[in-house]
Chains A and B, each alone.
Chain A
Amino acid sequence: MTTRSLPDGFEDLQPLVADWALDNEKDRYWKLHRSNIEDLRRFFDAVFARIDDIIDRLNQTPLGSFSDEEKTLMYLAMTFAETAHPIDLKWKDVDFNDAYTWEKFEFRGVSLAPTPV
C-alpha cells in the first residue's frame, strides 16, 4: 500500500493518517465505535492542537481542487469533526448509556459516498 502523505508542515500528524484519514461518514462512524476512549482522546488532542493551521491551509484551495496531500489532510480533519463529540461532551466511553445500537444505524447517499472535498 502506498503511503498517503500530508502537505508540508503537517508531518507531525503523519502517524495518524493510516488509521484516521477516512473519506466517508460511515467509515468514520465505525472507526469511532471500534476505538477506545483513550485512543480517541489522543487523536482528538493531536488534531485539535493543529485544527486552526489545518483550516488556514485548506481554505487556501477551493473545494474540488484539492491535491492528494490536501485531500488526506482534509479527511483527517473530517474524522476529527465526526469523532470529536465524545471528548467534547466528556463521555466516559466512545458511546453513551442507552444509545441506540450503533451497528443498526445505516448510512446512505452522501453519508456513504466519499465526502466531496
Chain B
Amino acid sequence: MTTNSITVFKGETSHLRRMVSVPDRISKEGYQRELEMIFSRAWLPSASASDIPDKGSYIVVDIPPKKTSVVIVRGNDGIVRAFQNVCRHRGDQLVHGGQGCRKQFTCGFHGWRYSLEGALIGVTDDTQFPELDRSKLGLIPVNCEVWNDLILLNFEKTPHMPLKDWLAGIYDQYSGYAEGCEKVGEHRVVLNANWNMAVNAFCEGYHNMYIHKYTVPDYQGGKNNPMRHRAYIEVGKRFGRYSAHANMDHKRTPAEAVLYGRSRPLFPSFPKTDPKTQTLGINPSRFEEWAFDIVHLFPNFVFNPTANGHQYMWFWPINEDHVELRVVNYAFKARNAADRLAQAYSRVRLREVLREDLATMEAASRMIATGSLPFMVFSQQELLIQNHYAIADEMMGRAPEPIEQRPLTAA
C-alpha cells in the first residue's frame, strides 16, 4: 500500500474492510448477538492483580454486559479465583461492593460461610437442612486467569480457547510492565454511546490533532510528522496496538515544567526511554521518538503504557446505546512529595484529554443511532478499528462485511 507515512504496519490485513456497515451493529438485535457471541465467550480483562496483593484480598467487580457481579479473591494458596457473587442458599449477593481483605465470606442474609477458595464451610442452624451436601454447594466459579497485572474472566462453562491462544501474538510480551507502579487515579463515566463507538475512539490517533487542541495541543507528531501518523500499527487475531510519535518540540507549560522538573516526566511529556529496560511488547517497534502505546484487547479493553506509568480503560456495554467507561491510571511509585505532585498533575492532564474525547463520542453516537449513516469509512491510520469489526464479525459468525468495498471515488 502507498501511505506516504512513517507508519510501520504489521499483521495480516487482507481480510480487513475500510468500509463497515453501521445500522445493524447498533441495533437492539445486534447488541443481543454481541452479548451471546462475544461477551459470553471472550476473555474479558476485569480487574488488576495489584488490587488483590495478599492472601484474602478480594475485589467485587460488576460486569455490565453479563448483568452480574463477580468476586475475585486471592486464596490462602495464593491462587486468584473468581466466583459469581451469589450465596448458594437463596441468592443474596454475598459481598456488597468494594474491596478489602477477609479470612472468609459470610452471607449477610442467613450467615452461610465460604472459604476464600469457594468451599461452603458453615451453615447456620444446619440441623434444619436434612441431608445437605455441602460439597455440592460451593461458590459458583467463573473462569479466571491472571496475565501479568490483569485478571481476565471468561463466562463460558469451559473456555472455547485458552487464554494463551486468545492472546496469541502478545501473550509473552508484557511481563513485568506494572512493576514499580501504583494506582493514582480512578474515574468512571456512563456515556450515551454504543460501546463499539466508544472503544473505537481510543483505537486511533487520527483525531488527536483536531479534538485535543485545548488539552494537549502539541504532544504528538512534530515537524517530521505533521499529520501525526502512528509510528507503528499492528493488528493481531484478537488485539490491535499502535505506538504514538512524541513531538520532540513539545513545549512544557509552566506548571508541567516545574513539577516534572522536580520529579520525572509523565504524560504529556515523553522522556527518552531505553528499550533494553522495557518489556518486549512496549514500544514494540523500538521507535526512537516514542510517546505511548495503545493496546486494544478485543472486545472492550484498552491498555495504554507510557514511560513511567500506564492506564487501563474499560468500555463496558450496559445496553446498545449506553456504555460505562472505567479508567484507571498508574504511575511510578512516589518516593516523596515532588513525585506525588507530578502524579497529580499528570492524572489531571489525562482526565481532561478524556473529557475532550467523551463530548465528541456522545455527539457521534447520537447521530449514528439515528440509523442515517449506512457505513463508516476508515483510513490506514484507523486499522485497529477495521480489525475490531473483523474480529467481531468472526466471533459472531457474520458474513464478511456486506458493504461493497468500492473505491471511495465511485459515484
A interface residues, Cβ below 8 angstroms from B: 25, 44, 48, 51-52, 54-55, 58-59, 61-63, 74, 77-78, 80-82, 84-85, 87-89, 91, 96-100, 102, 104-112, 115-117
6 A-B pairs with least C-beta separation: A58-B337, A88-B253, A84-B255, A100-B358, A96-B214, A109-B186
Determine if B356 and A96 form an interchain contact, defined as CB atoms under 8 angstroms apart.
yes
Assuming the contacts A52-B262, A63-B340, asked whether A110 and B185 have C-beta atoms less than 8 A apart, the reply is yes
Starting from the known contacts A106-B187, A110-B184, A115-B344, 9 additional A-B residue pairs (CB-CB under 8 Å) come to A48-B254, A48-B258, A55-B262, A58-B338, A59-B337, A98-B359, A108-B187, A111-B186, A112-B186
Contacts of A61 in B (CB 8 A): 337
Q: Once the chains bind, are A81 and B336 in contact (CB under 8 Å)? A: no
Q: Which residue of A lies closest to B360 (CB)?
A: A98
B168 within 8 A of A: no
| Bound-state Cα–Cα, A44 to B255, Å | 9
Contacts of B183 in A (CB 8 A): 109-110
Bound complex: CA A48 to CA B261 (Å): 14
* Pairs A–B under 8 Å by Cβ, sample size 17: A48-B258, A59-B336, A77-B341, A81-B342, A81-B348, A96-B214, A98-B356, A99-B352, A99-B359, A100-B354, A100-B358, A100-B359, A104-B190, A105-B187, A108-B187, A110-B184, A111-B186
Known contacts A58-B336, A102-B355, A107-B187, A82 near B345 by CB under 8 Å? yes
User: In whole angstroms, what is the CA distance A91 to B187 when docked?
Assistant: 23
Query: B104 in the interface, Cβ–Cβ < 8 Å?
Result: no
Q: Is the CB of B186 within 8 A of A84?
A: no
Are B255 and A108 within 8 A (Cβ)? Answer: no
A105 CA / B211 CA spacing, docked (Å)? 19
* In the complex with contacts A51-B258, A62-B336, A78-B344 CB distance below 8 A: yes
How far, in angstroms, from A2 to B400 measured CA to CA in the complex?
Answer: 69
Chain A CB within 10 A, most for which of B190, B255, B340, B345: B255
Structural contact, A82 and B344, CB atoms closer than 8 A: yes
B250 at the interface (CB under 8 A from A): no
Q: Are B356 and A81 in contact (CB under 8 A)?
A: no
Interface residues of B in 333-368 (CB under 8 A from A): 334-338, 340-342, 344-345, 347-349, 351-352, 354-360, 362
| Smallest CB gap from B99: residue in A | A109
Complex Cα distance, B184 from A62, in Å, reads 18
> In the complex, how many angstroms separate the beta carbon of B149 from the nearest chain A beta carbon?
16
- In the bound complex, residues from chain B placing their C-beta under 8 Å from that of A108 are 186-188
Residue of A nearest to B333 (CB): A63
- Bound-state Cα–Cα, A76 to B408, Å: 56
Q: How far is the CB of A112 from chain B (nearest CB, A)?
A: 8
With a cutoff of 8 Å between Cβ atoms, the chain A residues found around residue B341 in the complex are 55, 77-78, 80-81
Tell which of B188, B214, B349 touches A97, judged by Cβ atoms closer than 8 Å: B214
In the complex, what distance in Å separates the CA atom of A59 from the CA atom of B339? Answer: 9
Query: Chain A's nearest CB lies how many Å from the CB of B252?
Result: 9
